[in-house]
Amino acid sequence: MIGRDGGPADRATETDSPELNRSMSDTGNNPAVEIEGVSFAYGKEPVLENVSLTLPDHLLLGIIGPNGAGKTTLIKLIAGLLQPDRGTIRVLGKPPGSAGGLVGYVPQRTAFDLSFPATVLEVVRMGRLSRERIGRRFDDSDDTASLAALKQAGMSGLERRRLGELSAGQRQRVLLARALSAAPRLLILDEPLSGVDIGLEEGFYDLLRELRRTMAIILISHDVGVVAQAVDRIACLNRRLYYHDDKAEALKSLDRVYGCPVDIIAHGVPHRVFGEHDHA
């Protein structure tokens, strides 16, 4: 389990939007996520077993594991879309699903009709919607928050562009801005760079490290080598969760997580190297 101290928190930086400068008083000193002894199954098929995790604020956590390891199920439990069979979950000190706009989510893939004439700003403003605002028109405060989120995501000046005119990497940043527009305290990213040019990865991870000054971030990925360099902590998930404060120690759990031989070459840059029996 990640300790509650989690190391010193970075000082929050100010943005152009007062709403994006939401203070810690909104959530007190609660950890971003507290998971205690959680198990979940789809019918008789166990997916998660006795998972415990405490994620402090201002921490970038990478969760890695093979396909079918339960990563997406864990996200749904944190978001309140599923209920655990056993155990408890608290998100920002509240039950899952009760944190409202304090939780932002960037999906692995979103199917866009690139011929639809939606602008970048219109897509980002969608992140301002909530159950409480159904039927309510957007106003100036929504535009202010959306433009500030675009600036955070490195997309300033493109708000009038059509979504279909953007590259895949730029579209992912638009999705990130959409999540940021509601000023989340917890940001969850599910394979955010899947299908994106590898040359864009470094800048994206630099952006995440900057964002964690104002929020906690959970990054779901299967790319062990890249994620190991980008995050503060690593958790390895395959039904059970393996975690160590030291990233190199956490990566030693990969043979159990992937169920096949894994060698870690740790010359400052961890890598995943499968043997001939690789079946991930």
Kindly give the confidence (pLDDT) of every residue in the chain, 280 residues in length, as a single tens digit, with 9 standing for 90 and above: 443 333 333 333 333 433 433 433 344 578 999 999 999 999 999 999 999 999 999 999 999 888 888 998 999 999 888 999 999 999 999 998 887 678 998 887 666 667 778 899 999 998 888 645 555 788 889 999 999 999 988 899 999 999 888 888 888 889 899 999 989 999 999 888 766 655 566 678 888 889 999 999 999 987 777 677 788 888 888 899 987 666 666 666 666 666 544 444 333 444 443 333 343 3
Q: Is residue 132 part of a domain?
A: no
Nearest to 33 by CA among 64, 68, 2: 2
Q: Is residue 106 part of a domain?
A: yes
> In terms of residue numbers, what domain contains 232?
18-110+185-274
Residue 248 corresponds to which tokens in the numbers above? 């190199």
Q: Is residue 163 part of a domain?
A: no
Q: Is residue 223 part of a domain?
A: yes
Residue 6 corresponds to which tokens in the numbers above? 């989690």
Q: Is residue 143 part of a domain?
A: no
106: β partners: 189
Measured in degrees and rounded to the nearest 5, phi and psi for residue 61 equal -105, 130
Q: Is residue 68 part of a domain?
A: yes
Prediction pTM value: 0.76
What is the Cα–Cα distance from 218 to 11, expressed in whole angstroms? 19
Q: Is residue 4 part of a domain?
A: no
Read off the CATH number of the domain in which 76 is found. 3.40.50.300
Q: For the chain, how many structural domains are there in total? A: 1
Which residues fall within 8 angstroms of residue 273, CB to CB, at 6 or more apart?
262, 263, 264, 265
How many CA atoms lie less than 13 Å away from 267 in the CB half-sphere? 1
Q: Is residue 52 part of a domain?
A: yes
